[in-house]
Amino acid sequence: MTITVLIVEDSPVVAEFLSAVLGSDPAIHVVGVVSDGEAAVEAARRLRPSVITMDIHMPRVDGFDATRRIMETCPTPIVIVSGSVPAGAGHDDVRAVAAGAVATVARPSGIGHPDHAESARRLVEMVKLMSEVKVIRRWPRVGAPKPDPAPLLHEGPRVARVIAIGASTGGPPVLQSILSGLPAGLPMPVLIVQHMAPGFVESFAGWLEQASGFPVRMAAEGDLMLPGHAYVAPDGWHLGVRRGARLLLSDAAPENGMRPAVSFLFRSLVSTMAPHVAAVLLTGMGRDGVDELKRLKQAGALTIAQDQTSSVVFGMPGQAVEAGAVSHVLPPDAIADLLAGLSLPGHS
């Protein structure tokens, strides 16, 4: 099946380069190239591409507004192709993902650069992968009624010493929504594994703190977990918990193709803090964290999956529901409400 791609890029030279890179794969057909966000919205409606690659800084309508408008009118997987060097990527790329884009990838290096072949392969691979995502209309008009909350599947404990959250495709805005709903005096820490392209996690953590108002830090080896703070797994490192409520970073082999992996985090909690764990699996592809979430549930932890209606990809949470690994299936605002009401064991 041919994957059709719309390229949104204001530089003709870069647009031609991206067309050549994507067009080199026989499974991909570039159906259009436009140079600003206004044209992107119109072309998305007219061409109905499988995937859109989106620039951010453009005349008339920028990539943020174009992404939001496309997701309102004709939801399409949008991949931000960043011109930033990944290690120095700013908040713009993360903001675009929060606006509804499904992924961010660095623009391939130029022909002749030693990294050209590998970086071009990453772009092609990302476009192919994201073409399989069934996106939903994420941004209803102001005043649109909210869906009724999903019912609780099982009653679970209302106490925890730690909250652990795993997320992948579509995760950043959901995490922002959940952290925004947590009180400043939350009596336990929050640990986060978010699958993200290399080089963007530090910017993501900064954006998440700014957008939610909740303290967010990059996790560091041996850190003592503080209540009312969130810790994000850094690039290329699994995040776990040692006994004594200290953070563990590991460069062990990837799990489910990922490092950091949600599975590593949840498994470390089975052996150190179960049953006093609240574990949440959010939108994303694959099944990272599913088996370990079930083990946490069996150990008495509170386990939560994001519901299908609000998930960009009901892969990870859907697999968890199917496996019988969750005690609650909820939309983001209800997840935040449930977590906000947790207390420490022995307290009320």
Q: Assess whether 168 carries a catalytic annotation.
A: yes
Residue from 55, 195, 203, 263 carrying the catalytic annotation: 195
Instruction: Specify the residue for token string 């990453």.
Output: 122
Beta partners for 190?
163, 230
Residues 6+ apart with CB under 8 A from 87: 199
Residue from 19, 168, 177, 327 carrying the catalytic annotation: 168
Residues 6+ apart with CB under 8 A from 330: 149, 150, 152, 304, 305, 306, 307, 338
Q: Assess whether 195 carries a catalytic annotation.
A: yes
Query: Kind and range of the H or E element at 75?
Result: none
**Torsion angle defined by CA atoms of residues 312, 316, 318 and 324, in that order, rounded to the nearest 10 degrees:** -160
Cα dist. 7→17, 35, 155, 196, 291 in Å?
11, 8, 48, 22, 38
Cα dist. 138→65, 230, 329 in Å?
13, 25, 19
Q: What angle do CA 59, 60, 66 make, to 5 degrees?
A: 100
Instruction: Specify the residue for token string 């925004």.
Output: 180
Residue from 288, 307, 310, 328 carrying the catalytic annotation: 288
Alpha helices in the chain (DSSP H): 12-23, 37-47, 63-73, 91-98, 116-130, 171-180, 201-212, 262-272, 290-298, 316-322, 332-340
**Torsion angle defined by CA atoms of residues 96, 101, 104 and 108, in that order, rounded to the nearest 10 degrees:** -100
User: 229 with 245: CB under 8 angstroms?
Assistant: no
Q: Assess whether 11 carries a catalytic annotation.
A: no
Let me know how long the chain is: 348
Instruction: Write out the catalytic residue numbers.
Output: 168, 195, 288
